[in-house]
Amino acid sequence: MQDIIAETSEKIRDMTIRGAGRIARAGADALGRFAESYTGNSLEAFREDLDRAVATILDSRPTAVSLWNGVHSTVRGVDSASSVDEAREIVISNSREFCERSEKAVETIARIGAKRIEDGDTVMTHCNSSAALGVIEEAHRQGKDFRVFATESRPWRQGILTVTQLAEAGVDVTMIIDSAVRYVMNDTDKVFVGADTITSHGAVINKIGTSQLALAAHEARTQFYVCGETYKFSPMTVFGDMVRIEERETSEVVRPGEIPDSVKIFNPVFDSTPAQYIDAIITEVGMVPPTAVYDILVRQLGDGIFKE
């Protein structure tokens, strides 16, 4: 049983499974499978094992709150169970519900966001966001005639995934290196990016470099849209918590021996784009201004959506 958890955690850590939405669904799904295959009879032992499983999953990557929300939505209500079977059923059903809700949210965002793409547009995207790509692919499916600039997204180069996916869908796509963003922004009408975490004051934490796109878009008066499901809204930020920015291995940046040993390497994976640079956040509950995030979070907290 712990194998399911350890394996999923490792795949999230080494980025075999990546993308804020996907890791949230993978975490929820792993807990569901853990509950399904649980054979013990003690409710207390199940709760302890589940707590350990939750901790292991959450330890895999620190920044995307989608993982925290996915995991906590899945274990919600276990405390009130009166038997192991009841507790297992709660986890299995929550896990399914979260994964379905997550997939539907991405589809809804695609439909809402596609309305913002018009014939003749030039669109830019960064990294590899299923929510942002959903919007672009939906607009293409609707027959709109537009082109896309996609960044390489060093050091992991998720841009390769993006251009491959868009090219296979038949979208007119051009890959650019990250430092070409400002150069091509004057020719760009709209930017669509994803989100890993959205704070209560409307700042968006997304792949490193996103804030540079936002600044360049602001300067060029290009519209800047964030595509993010509401489980990327961070309840902790309502209570003042800061978002931890993940730093990854230096080996992702340079090959061994490429630079002198005395050179230090800093590899932050995400950055924060302040609300003032964001035209709208496209969510499954509609297109909202960044200033609306607090209200939506407070409503969700009231509904107990993020509670254990």
Which residue in the set 69, 95, 151, 158 belongs to the binding site for ligand RI2 (CB under 6 A)? 158
Task: Give 138 or 196: the residue with its C-beta nearer to ligand RI2.
Answer: 196
In the three-class reduction of DSSP (H, G, I as helix; E, B as strand; rest coil), residue 29 is classed as helix
Q: Distance between CA 108 and CA 285 in Å, rounded?
A: 8
Residues 229, 284: contact at Cβ < 8 Å? yes
- Position of tokens 């519209």? 223
Which residue in the set 20, 90, 203, 243 belongs to the binding site for ligand RI2 (CB under 6 A)? 20
If one asks whether residue 21 binds ligand RI2 (CB under 6 A), the answer comes out as yes
Sheet containing strand 147-151, strands side by side: 172-176, 147-151, 122-125, 190-193, 223-227, 280-283, 286-288
Catalytic residue from among 49, 99, 127, 178:
127
If one asks whether residue 207 binds ligand RI2 (CB under 6 A), the answer comes out as yes
In the three-class reduction of DSSP (H, G, I as helix; E, B as strand; rest coil), residue 80 is classed as helix
Which residue in the set 50, 53, 127, 148 belongs to the binding site for ligand RI2 (CB under 6 A)? 127
The interface with ligand RI2 within residues 262-291 (CB under 6 A) comprises 269
Q: Distance between CA 115 and CA 113 in Å, rounded?
A: 5
Q: Distance between CA 151 and CA 214 in Å, rounded?
A: 13
Task: Give 87 or 158: the residue with its C-beta nearer to ligand RI2.
Answer: 158
If one asks whether residue 202 binds ligand RI2 (CB under 6 A), the answer comes out as no
If one asks whether residue 194 binds ligand RI2 (CB under 6 A), the answer comes out as yes
**How many residues line the site for ligand RI2 (CB under 6 A)?**
16
Which residue in the set 4, 8, 19, 27 belongs to the binding site for ligand RI2 (CB under 6 A)? 19
Is 227 among the catalytic positions? no
In DSSP terms, which residues pair with 105 in a beta bridge?
none
Task: Give 84 or 293: the residue with its C-beta nearer to ligand RI2.
Answer: 293
Q: Give buried/exposed letters for 213-224 (b at 16+ CB in 10 A, else e).
A: bbbbbbeeebbb
If one asks whether residue 196 binds ligand RI2 (CB under 6 A), the answer comes out as yes
Catalytic residue from among 29, 49, 178, 196:
196
Is 99 among the catalytic positions? no
Q: What is the DSSP letter of 79?
A: G
* Distant-in-sequence, close-in-space partners of 246: CB < 8 Å, separation ≥ 6: 61, 62, 63, 268, 269, 270
Nearest partner of 201 among 123, 296, 68, judged by Cα: 296
Task: Give 92 or 105: the residue with its C-beta nearer to ligand RI2.
Answer: 105
The interface with ligand RI2 within residues 209-228 (CB under 6 A) comprises none
> H or E stretch including 30?
helix 20-36
Which residue in the set 74, 95, 129, 237 belongs to the binding site for ligand RI2 (CB under 6 A)? 129
Task: Give 46 or 270: the residue with its C-beta nearer to ligand RI2.
Answer: 270
Stretch that binds ligand RI2, among 126-134, 164-172, 173-181, 260-268 (CB under 6 A): 126-134
If one asks whether residue 101 binds ligand RI2 (CB under 6 A), the answer comes out as no
Binding mask 33-72 for ligand RI2 (x = CB under 6 A): ----------------------------------------
Extract the runs of DSSP E, i.e. beta strands, from 154-277. Answer: 172-176, 190-193, 197-198, 204-207, 223-227, 270-273
Residues that bind ligand RI2 (CB under 6 A): 18-22, 127, 129-131, 158, 194-196, 206-207, 269
The residues annotated as belonging to the active site are: 127, 196
